[in-house]
Amino acid sequence: MLIVMKPQATEEEIAAVVGKIESVGATAHPSRGSQVTLIGAIGDSDTEVRVAALELDGQPGVSKVVPILEPYKLASLSARHGERSTFEIDGRRIGGDHFALIAGPCTVESRDQLLDAARAVLDGGATMLRGGAYKPRTSPYSFQGLGVEGLRLLAEAKAQTGLPIVTELMDARDLEPVVEIADVIQIGARNMQNYGLLAELGRAGRPVLLKRGLASTIEELVMAAEYILKEGNPHVLLCERGIRTFESSYRFTLDLTAVPVLKTMTHLPIVVDPSHAAGRRDLVEPLSLAAAAAGADGIIVEVHPQPEEAICDGPQALRASEFAAYARKVEQVAQVAGKLPFLEAASTA
C-alpha cells in the first residue's frame, strides 16, 4: 500500500511511519516528490494485512493510505500518486517534459570508430552515448565485444565528449567493471527475466535501461523492473525494442501501443529502440518519429561512422554524417508531443 504524507509532514513524522511499517516485517520505500513524500509499504499478502492493521491514516503527518492493487507495487503509477518520474543522469534529464536521445554504435570496435561516432552524436545533439563492450550474439562464433578494453574506450569517449555512457551488462561477474564506467546499465531483451541479475542491479544503484523481452508481455516487463526497484534502485528506464510476431518483412514488430499503455501503468520513463526492431536503416527514422509522437521519453538509436564496415548490425545503423538532420526531426516531433527541446540542452550540458 501507499502512504501519502501531508506536504508539511516533518522528517520525524516520516521516520515514525517508516519505523511502524518495518516493525511488522514490511519494507518501506520512501519517495520524495515535488509536493509530498510517498511511502510504499511492500510485502506479501500477510504483511499487507499487518500494515493495514497499523491504521496509519491516523498517524501524525499522514494524509491518506492508498491500496496498490497492481502486482507491480513500486513501478505502478499509483505508487507515485500519479506523478511521473524524472531522472537526472550526469546532468541530462529524462522523463516528464524531458526527452533523451541516446545514440552511438552497436558495439565498440576500435578507438577511432568509437571516438568518431561519439563526436558525431555529440555534435548532432545526442544527450547520451551508447556502445556495447559486451555483446550478446545469437551465434557463439560471432564477435562478443571487446570487454574491459571496450569499457576503457567508452571512458575515454566520455572524457572527450562529456556524454553519459549507456552500455550493456550480460553477466553479474562483470558488474564491478561496468559500474565503474557506465552511467546507465543496459539489460538486453534476452536478460529481461534474469531475475538474479536484476536484483544485483537493484543493489548496485546505477540507473538501468531495461529492454522488453522479444516474447514478453507489457506486464512482464514492468514486473521485471520491480525486481530492480524492490532492491532499492528507483532509476529504471523501460525500453520497447520490438517483439517477435508472425511478420517477416522486418526483424521485429515495434509495439508502439506499448508506449501509451505503459504510461497508464507506470511512472517510469519509456524509451524506444527503433534500430533493433527495424533491422533496416531506412525504417529507423519513421519509427523514431512515430515513437516520439506516441509520447516516448527517449530513443536509443545506433549510429556508425561507416555502417558498411560495422562488425555487427551495420544495416540498421544510421550514418554518422546524417545523424544531426535525423535528430532535428525527432526533436520537432517530440516537441509536438509536449517535450522540451533537447538539442540546445544537449549542446550546453
Could you read off the pLDDT of 202-230 as tens digits, one per residue?
A: 999 999 999 999 999 999 999 999 999 99
Q: How confident is the model at residue 260 (pLDDT cuts 50, 70, 90)?
A: very high
Q: Model confidence over 140-178: pLDDT tens digits?
A: 777 778 899 999 999 999 999 999 999 999 999 999 999
Pairwise CA distance, residues 342 & 100, whole Å: 7
- Residue whose C-alpha cell is 553479474: 172
pLDDT at 280 over 90: yes
Please report the DSSP string for 212-260 in residue order.
Answer: PPTT--HHHHHHHHHHHHHTT---EEEEE--B--S--SSSSB--TTHHH
CA–CA distance, 123 with 119 (Å, rounded to integer): 6
pLDDT of 227: 96
Q: Do domains 2-67 and 87-348 have the same CATH topology?
A: no
Question: Is 2-67 in CATH node 3.40.50.720?
Answer: no
Dist. CA 43–CA 60, nearest whole Å: 23
pLDDT of residue 166: 98
Q: Bridge partners of 239?
A: 211, 271
Domain boundaries, the chain: 2-67, 87-348
Q: Are 244 and 252 in contact, with CB atoms under 8 Å apart?
A: yes
What is the rounded average pLDDT for all residues in the chain? 93
Domain 87-348, CATH number (from 3.20.20.70, 1.10.10.10, 3.40.50.12780, 2.60.40.10): 3.20.20.70
Locate 348 and state its grid cell: 550546453
Q: Are 304 and 263 in contact (CB under 8 A)?
A: no
Residue 54 has pLDDT above 70, yes or no: yes
